Amino acid sequence: LSLFNKIPRAPPDKILGLTEQFSKDTNNNKVNLTVGVYKDDKGLVSTFPTVAKAQKILEQGEKMNSDFSYLPIIGSPSYRISTLNFLFRDSCPESGPKLLEQERVSFVQTLSGTGALAVAADLLAQFVSRTVWVPRPSWPNHVNIFKRHGFSDVREYPYYEDGKLDVDEWITHLRKNVKKNEGVRHCIILHACCHNPTGLDPTMKQWQQILDTIHELEMIPIIDMAYQGLESGNPVRDAYVLRMCLDKSRYESWPHGLFLCQSFAKNMGLYGERVGSLSVVVPPNQPDSKDNVESQLKQIVRSMYSSPPGYGCRVATMVLSNDNFKRDWYKNVETMVQRLLNVRQGMYDRLGWKGLLNFEQQHGMFFYTGLKPHALNRLREEYSIYMTMDGRLSLSGINDSNIDYVCDALKAISD
């Protein structure tokens, strides 16, 4: 008997499985609100104007490295410089430059944000910790990634319940369950902004309390910054959690490191090009740490996929390394966010469900309804409106042609 008979069917991906179902749906009114890909007001996934311009220049000019040779294992050197500048100089002007000068940031170009999380998990599991805290709810792939990459202990911290972010409960839960002297280091995933799926983020004051607690408990922050710019429309402004973590007047250092997993998928529209990075901020006064960590990141990448893809990172580098391009890119992000805000407001005006949701604080690409699976099944079966089963809908799939249809259906199933 073939051993292949022993391989069971894996469950479909919670989000991408719905997209497959959507493509088979024959209802002309069908609306796909599942995946977090930005679509314009005509329902099209279009390239950001600045990104398209950078692409054109690359293709025409000598800068296009026209061979398809391998990149170095840890990525393109020019992408490294421009991304580090963007993250640690532009986004953290007070604290970041010093960290770079002191050689305290290990860096690797990654297969977007997912790749950054996977490489971070591999490194941590091998040398530092196999325990990670993930918010409940969270992007479902967090648990998948950390379990697959060596974490034996994946725990959840209470984040959201019945329309509310519960920061006090979050802090109390950590204080009760994380003991800094027990010999086990605990990692914690923090959504830098635009929490997925709820769209609810703590206020600055709450972040302060949270970070103080995490620091006091000597936890290891893993900042997942997949939506930088989608909260306020300004990528620099949205890096506030990173800035707070690195503010020396608050925290002298993170004694077991700080991990930043970053992606240009959403804020440059480079989804399928897989352009992202992992930065590890190492503690001070450990002169070898940065290079040691980077050498291990290199080993991990070598064995996982050998080297990252070369095209998308060249486009991102072009945008990041030229001040005019960068300024125009920021404007593109602002335009995208303005449209998302208009759609959110349009839905709020039509729905007026104040009781169920905490509308004001929601940010980013998603609108979290809190609807339960039976209601979501009705939406799909009766109206061909597809949302993820955690009750999240992607605002980017909504435009003038379907907003009334979607809101009427939401009202009908929640009556």
What is the contact surface with ligand PLP in residues (CB under 6 A)? 36, 112-114, 139, 191, 196, 224, 226, 263, 265, 271, 276
Q: Which amino acid is at 234?
A: N
Nearer to ligand PLP, 32 or 114 (CB): 114
Q: Which residue carries 């293709």 as its tokens?
A: 59
Output phi, psi for 388, to 5 deg: -70, 155
Smallest gap from residue 323 Cβ to ligand PLP (A): 25
Closest approach of ligand PLP to the CB of residue 159, in Å: 12
Residue 274: CB minimum distance to ligand PLP, A: 7
**DSSP readout, 328-377?**
HHHHHHHHHHHHHHHHHHHHHHHH--TTT--GGGB-TTEEE----HHHHH
Q: For residues 173 and 191, which CB has a smaller minimum distance to ligand PLP in the complex?
A: 191
Paired tokens of 298 = 């290199």
Nearer to ligand PLP, 112 or 399 (CB): 112
Which of these is catalytic: 122, 133, 139, 170? 139
6 is catalytic: no
- 257 vs 91, 137, 239, 393, CA distance in Å? 19, 25, 18, 35
| Neighbouring residues of 172: CB distance < 8 A, sequence distance ≥ 6 | none
CB-nearer residue toward ligand PLP: 273 or 328: 273
User: Is the Cβ of residue 311 or residue 353 nearer to ligand PLP in the bound state?
Assistant: 311
Catalytic-residue membership of 266:
yes
* Cα-based distances in Å from 409 to 267, 276, 351, 379: 30, 37, 10, 7
For residue 306, which of 1, 70, 64 has the smallest C-alpha distance?
70
Q: Are 48 and 37 in contact (CB under 8 A)?
A: no
- Which residue's CB is nearer to ligand PLP, number 224 or number 238? 224
Task: Provide, rounded to whole angstroms, the least separation between the CB of residue 255 and ligand PLP.
Answer: 25
CB 278 within 8 A of CB 259: yes
CB nearer to ligand PLP: give 104 or 149: 149
Catalytic status, residue 67 = no
From the list 122, 201, 224, 238, the catalytic residue is 224
Mutual angle of helices 323-351 and 49-60, in 10-degree steps: 150
What is the rounded CA–CA span in Å between residue 338 and residue 78? 31
Identity of the amino acid at 67: D
**From the CB of 326, what's the least distance to ligand PLP, in Å?**
20
Q: Which one of 53, 122, 238, 266 is the catalytic residue?
A: 266
CA 48, CA 255: separation in Å to the nearest integer? Answer: 39
Q: Residues 6 or more apart from 149 whose CB is under 8 A from it? A: 118, 121, 122, 125
Cα 258 to Cα 222: distance, rounded to the nearest angstrom? 6
Least distance between ligand PLP and beta carbon 134 (Å): 10
CB of 121 to ligand PLP, least distance (A): 13
H-state helical runs in 25-162:
49-60, 77-84, 96-101, 112-127, 141-148
Catalytic residue numbers? 139, 224, 266
